[in-house]
Structure 1
Amino acid sequence: MQHTVLVVDDDPHIRQLLVFALGKAGLAAREAEDGEAALAAIAEVQPDLVILDINMPRLNGLDVCRKIRAQGDLPILFLSSRDDEIDRVLGIELGGDDYVVKPFSPREVTARVQAILRRASASAKAPEDRPQLAQGRLKLDPDSWTATWNGADVSLTVTEFSILKALMAAPSKVFSRDQIIDRLHGPGFAITDRTIDSHVRNLRGKFAALGGQDVIETRPGVGYRLGPCLGEPA
């Protein structure tokens, strides 16, 4: 099945460049010139992923992301300027799955889009090959792409789910940030440590809201590992 990607940027040249690159990769691409048009297009087209510029008139990318996350877990790849690190980190903390810095290579954007879509499509594998993962009160079902804490559903983005799945698949292992990046994208992707830290902070916040303060442990100077997932003491 062909995936549909919505490209949202106020620069028509960037939109055309990405639409062409995505089309060459076998993806269907639609365009939106600002945030308001993006929300209308999402409702109409129901894309599989949104490429979202942060700095746009009328409704910026961060505000669009907030509205998307209030409705569901549609994957988001942010585009940002080189000097907007604060916005990039905030975008990840709001629920973005990845980001690319302008000026960018269309090939890199396409590769990152395909990596996110592959992770989102991983649930198509046979259930018998994808047993549930469990630790304490935490359960992860890779087949249905769902996470629960003490029986309550926890809404995770594609990237958050993938990080948690990597940690749960090897619960005694301490993963460095580079190892987590390799699990998400494969070797060679340039992502800062702060991006991984932001995703982990998101995960902690979502589970802490349900009483799960011990889902992910930090090993200073090394990385992250799965915690005991026992939650608040009775």
Structure 2
Amino acid sequence: MNIEEISNDKVDHRMSQAHPKTRVFITHGGSHGVYEGICNAVPMVLMPLFGDQMDNAKRVESRGAGLTLNILEMTSKDISTALKAVINDKKSEFEAIVNASGEHGIVVFSLGSMVSEIPMKKATEIADALGSVPQTVLWRYTREVPPNLPKNVKLVKWLPQHDLLAHPKTRAFITHGGSHGVYEGICNAVPMVLMPLFGDQMDNAKRVESRGAGLTLNILEMTSKDISTALKAVIND
């Protein structure tokens, strides 16, 4: 059967995404498709068009479950790069990092896709704190590299958050406290250090801390020592 013979109503998304040979899902970001992709741990390349698809795409990207392209501006190279980034070659890279972490395991660090900039002074303080733990830290960070970046920290522009949080070597999750990330952290029993920024993140952080699943820091006031202390506490306690 060629592509001309396949219409939308003949494609069973649930069957195709649940198949173990499915490597990626290119989607417009509709709620049902996104839900199926996440439930089946299939990384996505999203090309949102209108309505809630834009917000869905942001949420998917913020949790490390896919990458978003602007369908009006994207080029062939953009599509190819995004596809290669979310398919197995990228996952194999992360798998190698996790395996090399030894008995100490890893820390997953992501403040979501909506945080495009961290002041260098703050990034330097964070980097200093991350170097105080023996774990390998996977930090989703896209800005200028902090000059004091420690050897145990790997900077990445994208990470498969869902898969990493489910990995038995994951020791802690540093997050902004978005609902989806918090849900994944709790479901996978990964303790959290929360740095809420806005919206419902503040309430999410309070709920996580009240149930003993993590510690909250004020991202504007926290020091390197504060971060280090909180991270060591959730890993070791």
TM-score range, shorter chain: 0.3 to 0.5
Q: Tell me the TM-score normalised to structure 1 length.
A: 0.46
More strand by share: 1
TM-score, structure 2 normalization: 0.46
